[in-house]
């Protein structure tokens, strides 16, 4: 932990973080962990009421740390408005967690409609790209370091039958992570990714509640179970903190051993 972080109370003391998809699941768990470690955290998603409820819950334990702001990351204009709002209310973003995601299609890849394709790419990939560009441009203009964390998936690291379009977006995020880490390294802006396995969230509810699908995942997972959102949050704290100051371009598979079996 840096001396500054120690003085400001936690591994992320003094940092301003933005977590998209922050109203529930992995995003909410990351926001809670960041707040616990002293960061000021903005959580963003499409619906303000869900954000307000999550912020109130976390702020009950860590008063004043979490700030909810609605934003549709598939709409570029809203992204600019979000970053402007954060800078006006709190200051410049130090840490960006691109966690917003969607998966409207479950089935053979070639049966995905144009609408399903566009929605998946707009949220999962284009939104992350545009948010990263907006945050990085401001960091570079101010000469500030930063940390970008892209939430990918084990489905972006190999074949993703029945979830192919989703897997494509996550594979592209891994590629984006690697390229940007090289391009932004001289500016001391680190870019890393987290690839969760099967995690118990509303997003994955259908997978966990379908016995044959759950068995297929857990049977090839070394730990023999699915994960929980807080088990992802610890890696995000590490990548956001100065403890990972020499880490960039990496994808951390947090999957209970799924990808090694």
Beta-carbon-side half-sphere exposure of residue 53 (alpha carbons within 13 Å): 6
- Does residue 127 contact residue 98 with C-beta atoms inside 8 Å? yes
Look up 258 and say whether it is catalytic.
no
- Does residue 54 contact residue 61 with C-beta atoms inside 8 Å? no
Cα separation, 138 vs 126, in Å, equals 19
Cα separation, 232 vs 256, in Å, equals 11
Active-site residue identified among 62, 166, 246, 258: 166
Residue 222, φ and ψ in degrees, nearest 5? -55, -40
Q: In terms of Cα–Cα distance, which of 62, 54, 69, 55 is closest to 20?
A: 69
From the CA atom positions of the chain, what is the Rg in Å? 18
Cα separation, 18 vs 40, in Å, equals 9
Catalytic site residues? 166
């Amino acid at each position: 932990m840096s001396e500054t972080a120690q003085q400001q109370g936690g591994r992320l003391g003094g940092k301003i973080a933005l977590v998209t998809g922050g109203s529930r699941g992995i995003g909410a768990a990351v926001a809670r962990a960041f707040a616990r470690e002293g960061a000021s955290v903005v959580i963003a998603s499409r619906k303000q009421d869900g954000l307000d409820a999550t912020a109130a819950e976390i702020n009950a334990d860590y008063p004043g740390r979490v700030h909810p702001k609605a934003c549709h990351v598939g709409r570029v204009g809203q992204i600019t408005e979000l970053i402007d709002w954060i800078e006006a209310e709190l200051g410049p973003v130090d840490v960006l967690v691109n966690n917003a995601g969607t998966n409207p299609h479950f089935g053979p890849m070639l049966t995905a409609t144009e609408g399903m394709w566009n929605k998946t790419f707009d949220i999962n990939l284009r939104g992350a790209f545009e948010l990263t560009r907006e945050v990085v441009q401001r960091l570079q203009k101010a000469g500030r370091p930063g940390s970008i964390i892209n939430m990918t998936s084990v489905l972006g690291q190999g074949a993703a039958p029945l979830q192919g379009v989703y897997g494509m977006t996550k594979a592209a995020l891994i590629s984006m992570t690697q390229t940007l880490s090289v391009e932004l390294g001289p500016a001391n802006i680190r870019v890393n990714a987290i690839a969760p396995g099967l995690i118990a969230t509303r997003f994955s509810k259908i997978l966990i509640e379908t016995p044959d699908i759950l068995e297929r995942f857990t049977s090839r997972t070394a730990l023999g179970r699915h994960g929980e959102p807080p088990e992802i949050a610890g890696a995000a704290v590490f990548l956001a903190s100065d403890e990972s100051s020499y880490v960039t371009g990496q994808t951390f598979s947090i999957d209970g051993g799924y990808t090694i079996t």
